[in-house]
Amino acid sequence: MQEKEEVSKFALPVDEEHKATELRLLSAAGPHMRAFHLAWLSLFTCYFSTFATPPLLPVLRRHLHLSPVDVAHAGVASVSGIIVARLAMGPACDLLGPRVASAALALLTAPAVYAASAVSSPTGFIVLRFVAGLSLANFVANQYWMSSMFAPGVVGRANGVSAGWANAGSGAAQFLMPLAYSFILRLSGSPSFSWRAAFLIPATLQVVGALAVLAFGQDLPDGNFVSFSRSQEKRSLRKPTSKEGFWVVIADGLGNYRGWILCLTYGYCYGVELAMENVVAEYFYGRFGLGVEAAGLVAACFGMANVVSRPAGGMISDAMGRRFGMRGRLWSLWVVQTVGGVLCVLLGRMSSLGASMAVMCCFAFFAQAASGLTYGVVPFVSKRSLGVISGLTGSGGALGGVVIQLLFFSGTKYSKETGISLMGVMVLVCTLPVSLIYFPQWGGMFCGSSTAEDDDPEEDYHLLK
């Protein structure tokens, strides 16, 4: 009777851990859907802030006297800090909860976005892009929060939609920042004042998003981490006790080889997306002679595809998981990311604007869907070290972006179109290790389970350590 009363207090149907078994996108009911909307909106503002700069580079080059090397270094800086930040964010979520960890990082990095309005040198520009980019570590908190609130049958969908809608912030920035600049320019007549004033918009949005998370969010279906630190009743996730300890949680996560494979493969779907966000506007501006607003609009198509593509990846993962178990999740990840690699190779070979735009949109869909598919597998790797695995995978995405930026889009060794094609080749190679992932209770791409299976091998959600 008491259990029924506890379940009835939720607006959504829940499982025995009080995780929602449905994802109702048009609902804002607490705690599940309220957390969902706060998570994606807050991360959306972080993506908007981080990628507010690339669409304005044609203007910033003149006013800050940026060389091609400066621009390349700034692109690397914007994603390099995420590597360490995402690794740290995982344990922070395990210990503090995703709500506090997310809001704290957003508030700490927002001043760098405000400071962009006053930057006057290439060095300052690079440093500020580095600090602003740290906010993207909130992706780990986003995925951690969804895994805390939603049951295994819908967690892939929740992760995919939340991250996809949030990632669309990069596309929104590509489209809206040139418009904001042009609007302010018409009012003020000063190009320098206009781009500086435009940077106040993303910074303010980021602060508002962080404060909303703190004010209205909840870590777990039954309360916040702070309250559960005084109780033994927490059911959704086990907070590390003194026996397990901080370092034990980290060691368990880093010692799980599945996390490292997902780290690698995520580096060449999400990492590719990060690299493209930094170069796609300039690519169309330089190669096809588009204006600042037109190039920003084309580039926005790449980022805005996340609204559909990444959620589609999560939904595909859940659907294949229900039909074929873990084997379905892994095969769908490999197929989708491989197709994305092929399209990436083709994108660099296109010589006309129309063909390039068409291939770019298809490539964006598959690359971003692969990100959603990856995080359809992440929650099954380790329950105790979920934050570490999520952070490790997320850091792999950032590291992939840095490697790609350094290899293909820094200096003059490769043209941008050649760099894009070579990036596609790397995607094809680095997706192959997905075939090595194996779970004793669920199997892998080529092998079945080595333990007794239930009718629905994912239903009980018996995760590894």
176 pLDDT exceeds 90?
yes
d(CA 405, CA 239): 37
Question: CATH number for the 30-223+253-444 domain, one of 3.40.50.300, 4.10.95.10, 1.20.1250.20, 3.30.499.10?
Answer: 1.20.1250.20
Per-residue pLDDT, averaged over 432-460, amounts to 72
453 pLDDT exceeds 70?
no
Query: Dihedral of the CA atoms 327, 139, 242, 108 (nearest 10)?
Result: 170
Q: Which residue has the tokens 């206009």?
A: 194
d(CA 360, CA 426): 17
156, 321 in Cβ contact below 8 A? yes
* Most distant CA pair in the chain, distance: 72
241 pLDDT exceeds 90?
no
Segment 102-158, tens digit of pLDDT? 999 999 999 999 999 999 999 999 999 999 999 999 988 998 999 899 998 888 788
pLDDT confidence tier of residue 60, bands split at 50, 70 and 90? very high
Residue 163: partners with Cβ closer than 8 Å, 6 or more residues away: 40, 43, 139, 142, 143, 306, 310, 314, 371, 372, 375
> Alpha helices, DSSP H only, in 66-149?
68-96, 98-115, 122-133, 138-149
- Domain ranges, ordered by start, for the chain: 30-223+253-444
Residue 126: partners with Cβ closer than 8 Å, 6 or more residues away: 70, 73, 74, 77
Alpha carbon 127 to its chain's center? 22
User: What whole-number percentage of the chain has pLDDT above 70?
Assistant: 90
pTM equals: 0.81
341, 126 in Cβ contact below 8 A? no
Give the CA distances from residue 353 to residues 169, 294, 295, 305, 350, in Å, rounded to whole numbers and listed in that order: 24, 12, 11, 18, 8
227, 221 in Cβ contact below 8 A? no
d(CA 47, CA 307): 13
pLDDT value for 229: 54
- Token pair listed for 161: 């939609």
pLDDT value for 240: 46
Task: Find the length of the chain.
Answer: 465
CB-count exposure of residue 408 (10 Å: 0-12, 13-18, 19+): buried
What is the SS3 assignment for 281-315? HHHHHHHCCCCHHHHHHHHHHHHHCHHHHHHHHHH
pLDDT confidence tier of residue 423, bands split at 50, 70 and 90? very high
Candidates 146, 402, 169; CA nearest to 271 is 402
Residue 251, SS3?
helix
Per-residue pLDDT, averaged over 190-205, amounts to 96
- Please state, rounded to an integer, the average pLDDT across all residues of the chain: 86
15-29, 227-241, 411-425: the lowest-pLDDT one: 227-241
Residue type, 418: T
Looking at residue 54, what DSSP letter applies? Answer: G
Residue type, 182: S
pLDDT value for 416: 85
The Cβ of residue 95 has, within 10 Å, a number of other Cβ atoms equal to: 16
Give the CA distances from residue 213 to residues 149, 318, 378, in Å, rounded to whole numbers and listed in that order: 15, 27, 24
